[in-house]
Amino acid sequence: MAKKVAFLVAGEGIEQVELTEPWKAVEEAGARPVLVSPEEGRVQAFNHLDKADTFEVDLTVAKARVDDFDVLVLPGGVANPDALRTNDSAVSFVRAFVESGKPVAAICHAPWTLVEADAVRGRTLTSWPSLQTDLRNAGATWVDEELVVCEQGPGPLVTSRKPDDLPAFTKALGEYL
């Protein structure tokens, strides 16, 4: 049976390439990507600050079950994880996913949601540089590298800094598929 990968996003502010490139990598690996969001309908992606495409939500986070997925991907964009970290259902889903020991992959600003889920303490990760103080204050070790795979803790945590790091990020993601 093909693995299922949850892509958790807010209603808008998703950095499009950080959604579409990992999505494509998941499909190429023979796995099934599923777009999960707090609300039904469509989500708005962006190319930095400019509106880009919209994408149909497959499943609301309130109905999503960690047991139904093998991997969680958290795309970045500034507004996307900032909105997710204020949504109790999204934070609970991320926390439960991390605690399950299954792989979680987060890029750019996405580790903000991991901070809110108290999932970075004692872990080493990377992110967009402006998050380093938030991550350190939450108990993480932050490093400026294109890819960090942290095996400490309940399950693997794969992180990258920015869209330029997507080749390394998607390759590492593929290793869990």
User: Phi and psi for 6 in degrees, rounded to 5?
Assistant: -85, 130
Q: Strands 148-150, 141-142: parallel, antiparallel or unpaired by DSSP?
A: unpaired
Ordered alpha helix ranges (H), the chain = 16-28, 79-84, 88-100, 111-116, 132-137, 166-174
Structural domain count, the chain: 1
Predicted confidence (pLDDT) per residue in 111-149, tens digit: 999 999 999 999 999 999 999 999 999 999 999 999 999
Catalytic residue (choose from 109, 123, 161, 162): 109
Neighbours of 68 (CB within 10 A): 11
pLDDT for 2 equals: 86
pLDDT for 3 equals: 96
- Sequence-distant (≥ 6) Cβ neighbours of residue 166 within 8 angstroms: 17, 18, 21, 22, 107, 160
48 catalytic? Reply is: no
Neighbours of 164 (CB within 10 A): 11
Range of the domain at 148: 4-174
Q: What is the CATH number of the domain that holds 47?
A: 3.40.50.880
What is the mean predicted confidence (pLDDT) over 90-94? 98
